[in-house]
Amino acid sequence: MRNAFLSKNPQYLLLLVLFSFSSLTAQDYQKTTLGVKTKFQALDVEIQFYSPTIVRILKSPKGIAFKKESLSVIKKPESIKFTTQQKGDLVSLQSKKLKVTIDVKSGKVSFNSLAGSALLSETASGASFTDFNDAGSKTYNVNQEFKLDQDEAIYGLGQQQRGQLSLRNAKINMVQGNVDDYVPFLVSTKGYGLFWDNYSPTIFEDKPESTSFQSEVGDCIDYYFILGDNIDGSIAGMRELTGQAPMFPLWTFGYWQSKERYKSQNELVGVVSKYRELGVPLDGIIQDWQYWGNNYLWNAMEFLNTEFPNPKKMVDDIHNMNAHMIISIWNSFGPQTKQFREMQPKGMLLNFGTWPQSGVESWPPNRDYPSGVQPYDPYNPEARNIYWKYLSKGLFSVGIDGWWIDSSEPDHLDFKPSDFDIKTYLGSFRKVRNAFPLMTVGGVSEHQRAESSDKRIFILTRSAFAGQQRYGANTWSGDVNSSWQSLRNQIPAGLNFSMSAIPYWNTDIGGFFAGSYKKGWGDGTKNPSFQELYVRWMQFGAFTPMMRSHGTDIPREIYNFGKKGDIIYDAIVKTIDLRYSLLPYIYSASWDITKNQSTMMRALVMDFDDKKVVDMNNEYLFGKSILVAPVVHAQYTPETIVKSNEETGWNKNEDTNSAKIQETTFAQVKSTKVYLPKGTSWYDFWTNEKINGGQEITKATTIDEIPLYIKSGSIIPFGPQVQYATEKKWDNLEIRVYPGADGEFTLYEDENDNYNYEKGAYSTITFKWNDKTQALMIGKRRGSFNGMLKNRKFNIVIVTDGKQFRENPTTNFNKTLSYDGKEKIVKL
């Protein structure tokens, strides 16, 4: 009967089919205040808008409840307007900036611009959960695959010593290590960022067919898509999500001297005194380990070594010479320390092999006398309280200016898989392993800020994780080799780290392990091979966020390399002086980081639409105006291949293959290749010669100079010659303008330390160059602070093409003008 009716009335058959189809699709998702929830196959999926440009994707096995509180993400979801629409199996969510689509049958999520351009997509069957027993807790191995465009470039994931910039076709085992710091955040040339919010050991792999993150432990798949439009915008979104970078004190941007290690109070103070005597600029000195005494007292955070009898006087002596001091602290404690004795009964120590392995100082470690040193559990808030209690009482109280948090991965020696089963406050060590540096650095930072705002937090640390930029920390690249290959590796390592949204990074100038250069050369400082490498590393270090010389085996203080008039000595002084002349530029770039989420070490791909710079690993911009092309190949001496690592490097055996080479004068002029990106013209910093971009050139070099180029349209302030950062006021700055394009620069000034800038105690002066009218506008000063210069002079220099100037010296423009905070215009 029913079939006969339908056959005679086909319109009712069509309505029945449509009703059946709609009943299958209309309720395939549930709208929430943040996005939507849906189910497919065996998984629950949730899409959450955190802002119009930031979206969180959560996936978990169907019906399995879990609780996830991110260690990295501090942003709370905004209440934003978005629309949802379903067409067949596709459910789309759209904010005012971004469109997100999920296939409710396959679970595939994709991200598109509002114009319809595809940005990123998961693969059709890319999410997987595999049952895993994590030290007795039922959980999962989790994996998510994405599909990238063939010509898309990606960067970030922290610091790797691969010597390459692009992450395409890379497979990276992301477990924190001495010289590798992993941050599971990447940026794309397509204008987005991707943050994989997981703390367990993770394998990142990019293949032609897919790009994936696979983590050992996860109750859920949890990642964030950030629409940035470009790399800068993606980094800004990551900092919006995980925290902004505060200002460092001005003195941290000066020159820092260190070595492994100063063995007495007199030696440490004597280094600063010698620099002042020589007139070589210096802002900081660093005390490395064992000021506490023997290894059983490891990291006692007290001066128990009798060679440091009066620490308060030591610090005062350094301060009285207008220098600052930071000191080595670790994340582990010896069994005779107060910290160990307080933490152990409370289960706050992690019992696995760490540095040092022996209680006596010898190599190899004497296992008959184990050190008993154990890392603490920084995931435990009470343990972090105890850590700061002793740090504040033993070191902060005597006036130490900052902290060198060593082994912040931490060192994990003689690794056994069962070590990952060790319980922390937040679960197994496996579950939270990669977030260790974030927690320990964060513990110190938060406690110091709570105790005092008089002194800005400054932490030098060896490892990092997502969000660490909010804690006032500068990460260094670990105990790297003293070799040319290692120097080459540092450039892409620092650039990828910077593109991981953490803007402050540095490296041991000269490389840490340098024993191979001592054979037949005493302490090694007179070995031309080391001298050349050290000078070139110094020149690179002058254009990183912290300029810090450090290493073992060979002393690094300048007076070990000769005296004034000696070519190596003079090259080092010239480089340090150049760094200090750029402090107004560097400090303003630091403000740009804090205020505008900028980046100081900039891969060229961030600023130039030029295919030749997509994977360029030997040049970069320092700030937004200075192109740095370090000399990274030996030009005067043989390029000795040195092989060691952070463990075997501690073996002090000298390299028997290092033959003594002939004395080298370093007087010859050499040359190197430099690529100048297209889209602008460039000025040779040393000669002012103007050169069109989009070409590779051959640049003459000497031992005391590396290729530096200034982008047309740049405005750069140069400070006075000083012995330390705050010695002289910036009352007579030279303002150089490099014509050829419009330009703008904002000069930032404040009280140089403390947190009053957060209350508005700072000033800015914006300079604008109009290339068409050949006029420089000096804007009205905005803001004020105690000690601000109300009246000053600017020496305006409009740079002329060096070739043109040589032919007609009268073309140069130089004018000194008085400035009282009101707008002024200077015409050529």
Residue 504's closest CA among 155, 54, 159, 72? 159
Residue closest to 613 by CA, chosen among 208, 162, 165, 235: 165
Question: What is the helix (H) or strand (E) element at residue 248, kind and residue range?
Answer: none
What are 95's two structure tokens? Answer: 């904010």
Contacts of residue 654, defined as CB under 8 A and 6 or more positions apart, other chains included, come to 515, 516, 518, 519
Beta bridge partners of 58: 46, 222
What b/e readout covers 565-592, taking b as 16+ CB neighbours within 10 angstroms? eebbbbbbbbbbbbbbbbbbbbbbbbbb
Checking 358-366 for CB contacts under 8 A at 24+ apart, the result is: 358/295, 359/294, 359/295, 359/296, 359/334, 360/294, 360/295, 361/294, 361/295, 363/650, 363/651, 363/652, 364/651
Grouping H, G, I as helix, E, B as strand and the rest as coil, residue 696 is strand
Q: CB 150: neighbour CB atoms within 10 A? A: 6
Strand 473-476 to strand 505-506: parallel, antiparallel, or no bridges (unpaired)?
Answer: parallel
Which contiguous run of DSSP H or E holds residue 301?
none
Provide the token pair at 92.
């789309």
Specify the residue for token string 């930071």. Answer: 326
What is the rounded distance in angstroms from the CA atom of residue 173 to the CA atom of residue 185? 14
Using CA atoms, how far apart are residues 595 and 247, in angstroms rounded to an integer?
A: 9
Any idea which residue has 């379903």 for tokens?
86
Query: CB 732: neighbour CB atoms within 10 A?
Result: 14
Pairing verdict, β 83-87 and 90-94: antiparallel
| Residue entry with tokens 């595939």 | 108
Burial class (CB within 10 angstroms; exposed 0-12, middle 13-18, buried 19+) of 389: middle
CA distance 289 to 297: 11
Q: Which of 409, 411, 557, 592 is catalytic?
A: 409
Helix boundaries (H) for 247-403: 265-278, 311-320, 338-343, 381-394
Please identify which of the residues 406, 411, 607, 753 carries the catalytic annotation: 406
Could you tell me which residues are beta bridge partners of residue 133? Answer: 138
Residues 563, 252, 552, 408, Cα dihedral to 10°? 180
479 is catalytic: yes
Residue 758, classed as helix, strand or coil, is: helix
Q: Hey, what amino acid is at 268?
A: L
Contacts of 86 (CB under 8 A, 6+ apart): 25, 26, 28, 29, 92
Q: Which of 416, 427, 413 minimizes the C-alpha distance to 132?
A: 427
- Other C-beta atoms lying within 10 Å of the C-beta of residue 140: 21
β-pair partners for 762: 750, 784
Q: Which one from 216, 479, 607, 753 is the annotated catalytic residue? A: 479
Please name the amino acid found at residue 364.
P
Distance CA 509, CA 203 (A): 31
Indicate if 607 belongs to the active site.
no
As a whole number of angstroms, the distance between CA 239 and CA 73 comes to: 9
Active-site residue list: 406, 409, 479
